[in-house]
Homo-oligomer: A and B are copies of this chain.
Amino acid sequence: MFIERHSVGLVDSQSYVFGSPEDPLVLDSGHTLGPVELVYETYGTPNEARTNAILICHALSGDAHAAGIHDPHDKRVGWWDVMIGPGKAFDTERYWVICANVIGGCKGSSGPRTTNPATGRPYGSDFPLITIGDMVEAQKRLVAHLGIERLFCVVGGSMGGFQALEWSLRYPDQVHSVICIAAGAQLSTQAIAFNAVGRHAITSDPDWQGGHYYDTGGPVRGLAIARMVAHITYLSEMALNDKFGRRLQSADRLSYDIHNEFAVESYLNYQGTRFTERFDANSYIYITKAMDYFDIRRTYGPLKDALAATTARFLVVSYSSDWLFPKIQSQEIVRAMIAGDRDVSFVEIDSPHGHDAFLIDTDRLTRITSAFLDGSQRSKPFAT
């Protein structure tokens, strides 16, 4: 067993269950959900007052396993291990870091694959539609359960950034600082369109069976297509070109075959297929819909007014080659915050890696994050 020096090492997932059919979680849609299970992990140690908690919010296909390994034989570490650990950006020697799988997901928290207490079978498409607000509401219960009155920081990239923003809007008094990476005040029309195509690929797969497929193979073909489309949007044109260019799959010569000719085709196929081994198609539908729904203006009114009601210190980060959440979307938030006299820093990180850069180009993100967290420790009310 080898654990690198700055790793959080072996970690266990934990579970928190709250609510019941009689006392359920009331969702933004008006529907209810109960009991609700949240699977989460923690890294580091709470201080006595529990004022050093950092909540990490994961993106579409992420989960609660943000750092370390579950088993000595694990070949892969948590999805943001590079950022979480002793001496890392989210320094587990100073902070108590928490990450929970979102509701609607398929990595332990309540979602379409969960047993519906009313039927004794998986919810499937009877699971209620959820929003980013609902995800945050569930996290809020967990945070209270963990004895945290105020989060030192809420941080996330992509859909995680949506959750971080939502925290600052929904519970302004309970969030000291926010790091919002590669996100925006809403999804663009184009991003909704890509999500819609992915969902259409799933629901038009005959194996979707109206969303009740858990005793069969499920819509693996549709889910693979959805992932392939999405995967293109996570990479920059430049990154795709640098990685594959027009390189052929298997030879120097064109094969003139109806199947894959270029390396990028095989790569996408592989990504699509692998994804179906680890993700549930219904969760893909529910979570992308939650992303589509996120819209600060619709929920909280004009952006400047909405953000003026927040109290957190903000760090907003965008990546230069991210075309799914281009810089302009980060700037829109930042401008509204400045207009609302909020404490906000904005950094655009130069990177060729597109939207996925927040998982890859973490050197500069680490330096910026460390400095921001240090500053947040010195700022009110922590410094008072």
Contact = CB atoms under 8 A, between A and B. Distances in A.
A171 interface: no
Nearest to A230: B197
A228 B197 contact: yes
Contacts of A121: none
Taking residues whose C-beta sits less than 8 angstroms from the other chain, chain A's interface range is 35 or more
Nearest to A297: B246
Contacts of A211: 258
Contact of A200 (B197, B228, B292): B228
Interface stretch (A237-245, A307-315, A375-383): A237-245
A170 B31 CA distance: 65
B268 A193 contact: yes
Interface string A192-219: 1110110011011110000100000000
Contacts of A149: none
A102 B256 CA distance: 18
A229 interface: yes
B229 A29 contact: no
Contacts of A189: 237, 240-241, 243-246, 262, 264
A129 B186 CA distance: 43
Contacts of A200: 224-225, 228, 268-269, 272
A237 to B, nearest CB: 5
A190 B268 CA distance: 11
A260 interface: yes
A352 to B, nearest CB: 13
Contact of A221 (B196, B204, B228): B204
A197 B246 contact: no
Nearest to A30: B256
A258 to B, nearest CB: 6
Interface string A287-301: 001001101001000
A197 B232 contact: yes
Interface of A: 28-31, 125, 128-129, 186, 188-190, 192-194, 196-197, 200-201, 203-206, 211, 221, 224-225, 228-229, 232, 237, 240-241, 243-246, 254, 256-262, 264-265, 268-269, 272, 285, 289, 292-293, 295, 298
Given A31-B256, A190-B240, A200-B224, 20 more contacts: A29-B254, A189-B237, A189-B243, A189-B245, A190-B232, A190-B237, A192-B265, A193-B232, A193-B240, A193-B264, A194-B232, A196-B228, A196-B264, A196-B265, A196-B269, A197-B232, A200-B268, A206-B206, A258-B289, A262-B292
21 contacts: A28-B256, A125-B258, A129-B256, A186-B246, A189-B237, A189-B262, A190-B232, A192-B246, A192-B262, A193-B265, A196-B262, A196-B265, A196-B268, A196-B269, A197-B225, A197-B268, A200-B269, A200-B272, A201-B225, A203-B259, A211-B258
